[in-house]
Amino acid sequence: MAETLDWRGSRQDAASRASAATGRDVIGSGISMRNVVKKYGAFVAADRINLDIEPGEFITLLGPSGSGKTTLLNLLAGFQTIDGGEILIDGKSIAHVPTHRRGFGMVFQSYALFPNMTVAQNVAFPLRMAGVDRATSDRRVAETLEMMRLSEHARKTPSEMSGGQQQRVAIARAIVMRPKVVLMDEPLSALDRRLRESIQIEIRELHQTIGSTILFVTHDQSEALTMSDRIAVMDKGHIIQMARPVEIYRHPQSRFVASFVGESNLIEAEILENRGGKMRLRSRAGYVFEAESRNGAASGAATVLVRPERIALHDQPSANTVAATVTSALFMGETLRIEAVMEGGETLLIRCPDTAARNLPEIGTRIHVSWNAQDCWVLA
Amino acid sequence: MSDTSISAPPATAKGGRGFWRNPALLLLPATLFLAVIYVLPLIDLGRVSMTGEPWWAHFARVFSVPLYWESLIRTMKIALTVACLCAVFGYPTALLIQRSRGIMQVLIATTVILPYFIAILIRTYAWMVLLGRNGPINKFAIWLGIYDQPLALLFNRGTVLLGMTAVLMPLMVLTIYSSLSRLDPSLTRAALASGAGPLAVFWRVLLPLTLPGIGAGFLLVFVSALGFFITPTLLGGPADQMFAMHITQQADSITGEGFLQALAVVLLLITLGVVAVAGRMMGFEFIWGGGKLSDTTEAPTKTRNRAAGQGRRSLGMMVADLIGWPLLRLLGRMPAAVGAWTVRGIGVLIICTLILPILVVIVISFSEASYLTFPPPGWSLKWYEKFFSDSNWMTAFWNSLGIAALSATIAVTLGASAAMGIVRSEIRYKSALMLLLVSPMIVPPVVLGLSLYSLFLQMGLVGTYFGLAAAHAIGGIPIVVVIVAASLQAVDRKLEQGAAVHGASPLTVFRTVTLPAIAPGLAAAVFFAFLHSFDELVLSLFLSSPRMKTLPLMLWADINYQLNPVLAVVSTLEVLLVVGGIILARPVLSRSRGGH
């Protein structure tokens, strides 16, 4: 207990340093998971998960529902007991530390604001629990509310506020202690798109300011791409790939990641020739094309990813183009979304910017498409 | 025929049908029924109570004769103690139900729900068996060597408090549980993640948020206890007379008319006063444990409640800040398991208190001995034989069955249509009407019985099948209204609108969408209305004749005359009936709190 208090005390110093400093001051903890297993009866929610998170990193756990991302968060928070393996915070196992002594901050999808307390009291809650004296507590609450632009709402109760405001209060409550780790469980999924985007940016900036390690759970791939330092893509209790957003988007390591993150054309092909990454492939439909990719075997079958926005549209055929017939064309605002069937029967999804030069093609129109060899990514 | 002559008649016909289609009309039968058989007799009761000279003479006597006002004070004290005991022990039990999972949760919940539906008379009888001279508690204590002669455990204040607390405990537990289960579970997690220990979570989050539930449970128990009659009569001594008992005793010995009614009016006014104050503070919904009704007249009340709530909240916060925080930090140093084990300990204690008496009675019904002793010296079915071959018992049994069936029919017909009217109509004063419909739940049965007695005398209904069934239906209607209204509110209006948009007539919509959705609720309502009548004793005491015996009346007479195992047989059969009903009604019970 005494140890915990000392530790909290030192954390407050770090916090005041962080708020005083103009630059980024990392106070977050490193998190490591070693062979973490969690089962619900026969269902394995987390299957020997290994994960290393650097201090101060913003990590997103991305995956479809039931992939185990919320389970990992709950294990980290201590809401559920671990069935195997261990979780280390700054190198120390937290197996025997109960939730309320872990000193994390947490934001919930349902906000989970205490309806019997005002905004200020909600935000002060973690401070009071840590035994911070009244004056310090008041000052810190005021600072945090100021930071979240909530100062004028301090005396309101949660039920008097909009969803977006409530979630900002929940975030304020989670960061008021300047915790080493902040857990966010799909915090934005109850909000409408515009609000979601503005709070995404806010959370991102907040992360820069306070320097905590943030673990963010979402099933929204665009949210993950915008916010994270690194993304861990999860499926069926496994981490499939963990990398920077650009890497995840451009160079996915599996079909699952390629199709879950962003839109994709996955072309089944055979490698005819591979000279140090410069390949010639033949699609199942018989179309031969070139690709430059550091991934991929010397020969044999391969799946080639071409992102829809990398495909160019031409009115006239030329040497590098393939003919296709438009089967669907939608105006999406900033882009046109076109589906076309290539000769040989493969369907391509194409995204091209909406420009004055191009009108939405009519269904049945014959078009010519092309892509650069560098825009292909060969999946192993 | 011109176009206009064709279109005109349907227009008028439609106007006429429109009136008859107003769902508010569905409220009419139940309202009329209650007005005649419930409101008018109570008004008449008030009139008779004021026939003294001057008009307040009878009331003056109530408050000047020490026997009565001392009993009034005693009644208040007992009711308050029982309500406090129920709250203190009921909260951990409700928490235990909420925290357990799977089959454990079902088991624990059943041990609370089961006694809730067993007749008070039978549960009190079980305590008499348990605490009797040769009962298991005396036997066990002697076996342990705590004392060597059986003690007289019965007929004192302690047993009255124990018995009443045990009888009313399920009401408290279920009320608190329903408010606990409505909480967002991530609130607890948020508090834990914010560094609050289990104790702090309870003190700062669970307790403040379930305070309305505790308040509702406290008031329901308090109000029920105020009018309690059966348990204190059977378990109490001469020094434990409760107010309701005077009314029945006076009814036996005919004293001056008017004074008796004055006693009843005093009890009724105190009850209504408590309910009115509580209702103003937290909304009258606490009576039926339901959500708010959509009602235009309710909006101002709601905002005012909130404003008042805020004031109280900040005051509570200040108190909590002053003493709560230092205390919490001190107690927070205890191992976290202490709280969990306290909850478990109290929960298990309460569950034993609720279920053990019933188990003992079931065991004793198979006893060979002709007196009550535990454990039984030998086993036999002779008391079952005796019950099924005794023409008195069998007549009473068939009477009860017939009356209960008739009463359930009346209650469900009137109550279900009234529930439809309440949920589906757009009338004003909906809350007031709902309050009228459920108010029989809170009127002490003794008062109701006395007020009906003179009406039934005039109409020649005393000791008749129909009379008893109608009287029992007064208490059956609120049960039906609460259950059916809850099931109706759970029906997605979009489903009905969907059916209507696709061409179903209102009747077809009701038959194909609404009725299947509320069918389990209706079934439960039928069962509980039946059970209410089957178990009813107090009204029957007033309204029955010596030739018209029901099962509870026979039990009552026998308990007062001699305690024998036939009573245990009847109790066992009742337990079987309730268990069967609960199994049938489980899907509904999990959704609403059910009737009481």
Closest CA to B495 of B507, B481, B509: B509
Q: Which of A83-92, B93-102, B420-429 has the highest mean pLDDT?
A: A83-92
pLDDT for the residue B224: 93
pLDDT for the residue A346: 85
Testing the interface with B: which of A71, A96, A100, A173 to mutate, by most B Cβ within 10 A?
Answer: A100
Residue B334 pLDDT class (50, 70, 90 cuts): low
Q: Which residue of B has its CA nearest to A80?
A: B189
Q: Which helix (H) or strand (E) holds B17?
A: helix B3-20
Residue A161 pLDDT class (50, 70, 90 cuts): very high
The whole-chain average pLDDT of chain A stands at 87
Nearest to B192 among A100, A114, A131 (CB): A100
Nearest to B186 among A103, A105, A110 (CB): A110
Where does chain A hold its CATH 2.40.50.140 domain(s)?
263-379
Q: What number is the average pLDDT over the span A102-125?
A: 90
pLDDT for the residue B426: 79
Q: Which residue of B has its CA nearest to A130?
A: B195
How many residue pairs bridge chain A and chain B with CB atoms within 8 Å of each other?
A: 78
Residue A71 pLDDT class (50, 70, 90 cuts): very high
pLDDT for the residue B315: 57
- Which pLDDT tens digit goes with each residue over B131-167? 888 888 888 888 888 888 888 888 889 999 999 999 9
Helix intervals (H) in B321-390: 325-331, 337-365, 382-389
- Taking 90 as the threshold, does the pLDDT of residue A85 lie above it? yes
Return all residues near B480 (Cβ < 8 A) that are at least 6 apart: B411, B412, B414, B415, B416, B419, B525, B528, B529, B595
Nearest to A106 among B193, B317, B336 (CB): B193
Centroid of chain to Cα A41? 29
Q: Which of B113-127, B289-303, B497-511 has the highest mean pLDDT?
A: B113-127
Check for a shared fold between B24-50+381-596 and B56-291+352-380: yes
Residue B311 pLDDT class (50, 70, 90 cuts): very low
Q: What number is the average pLDDT over the span B358-384?
A: 86
- Which pLDDT tens digit goes with each residue over B177-202? 988 988 888 899 999 888 888 888 88
Dig out the tokens for B197 from the structure: 């220990």
Tokens 């451009």 label which residue? A250
Q: What number is the average pLDDT over the span B17-39?
A: 84
- Taking 90 as the threshold, does the pLDDT of residue A18 lie above it? no
pLDDT for the residue A23: 47
Q: Residue B517: what residue type?
A: A
Find chain A residues with C-beta within 8 A of B189's C-beta. Answer: 77, 79, 99, 106, 108, 112
Strands A58-62, A230-235: pairing kind: parallel
Residue B354 pLDDT class (50, 70, 90 cuts): very high
- Which pLDDT tens digit goes with each residue over B545-595? 888 899 999 999 888 877 778 888 999 998 998 888 777 766 655 554 433
Chain A interface includes B503 (CB < 8 A): no
Residue B37 pLDDT class (50, 70, 90 cuts): very high
Return the percentage of chain A with pLDDT > 70, whole number. Answer: 93
Q: How many CB atoms neighbour CB B260 within 10 A?
A: 23
| Residue B371 contacts residue B126 (beta carbons within 8 Å) | no
Chain A interface includes B184 (CB < 8 A): yes
CATH architecture of the domain B24-50+381-596 equals Orthogonal Bundle (1.10)
Return all residues near B236 (Cβ < 8 A) that are at least 6 apart: B155, B156, B157, B159, B160, B242
pLDDT for the residue B5: 41
pLDDT for the residue B326: 66
pLDDT for the residue B256: 64
Centroid of chain to Cα B185? 28
Given an 8 Å threshold on Cβ–Cβ distance, is A125 in contact with B194?
A: yes
Given an 8 Å threshold on Cβ–Cβ distance, is B189 in contact with A108?
A: yes
Closest CA to B23 of B516, B477, B423: B423
Give CATH for domain A2-104+179-255: 3.40.50.300
- Which pLDDT tens digit goes with each residue over B258-279? 888 899 999 999 999 999 988 8
Residue B105: Cβ-neighbour burial (10 angstroms; 0-12, 13-18, 19+): middle
Lowest mean pLDDT among A1-15, A170-184, B163-177: A1-15
Testing the interface with A: which of B194, B214, B302 to mutate, by most A Cβ within 10 A?
Answer: B194
pLDDT for the residue B340: 81
pLDDT for the residue B84: 96
Find chain A residues with C-beta within 8 A of B325's C-beta. Answer: 128
pLDDT for the residue A5: 35
Q: What number is the average pLDDT over the span B416-433?
A: 86
Residue B498 pLDDT class (50, 70, 90 cuts): confident
Any idea which fold B56-291+352-380 has?
MetI-like fold (1.10.3720)
Q: Where are the domains of chain B?
A: 24-50+381-596, 56-291+352-380
- Taking 90 as the threshold, does the pLDDT of residue B408 lie above it? yes
Lowest mean pLDDT among A217-231, A233-247, A280-294, B111-125: A280-294
Return the percentage of chain B with pLDDT > 90, whole number. Answer: 35
Q: What number is the average pLDDT over the span B509-529?
A: 87
pLDDT for the residue B324: 63
Find chain B residues with C-beta within 8 A of A173's C-beta. Answer: 190, 194
Q: What number is the average pLDDT over the span B327-333?
A: 67
Q: What number is the average pLDDT over the span A249-276?
A: 90
The whole-chain average pLDDT of chain B stands at 83
Sheet of A92-93: strand order equals: A43-53, A31-40, A84-89, A92-93
Peptide bond into B198 cis (omega under 30): no
pLDDT for the residue B117: 86
pLDDT for the residue A151: 92
Where does chain A hold its CATH 3.40.50.300 domain(s)?
2-104+179-255
Q: What number is the average pLDDT over the span A206-224?
A: 92
Given an 8 Å threshold on Cβ–Cβ distance, is B197 in contact with A100?
A: yes
- Taking 50 as the threshold, does the pLDDT of residue A6 lie above it? no
Q: How far apart are CA B174 and CA B134, in angstroms?
A: 33
- Which pLDDT tens digit goes with each residue over B522-549? 988 999 899 999 999 999 999 988 888 9
pLDDT for the residue B425: 81
Find chain A residues with C-beta within 8 A of B338's C-beta. Answer: none
Superfamily of domain A263-379: Nucleic acid-binding proteins (2.40.50.140)
Find chain A residues with C-beta within 8 A of B204's C-beta. Answer: 114, 125
pLDDT for the residue B431: 82
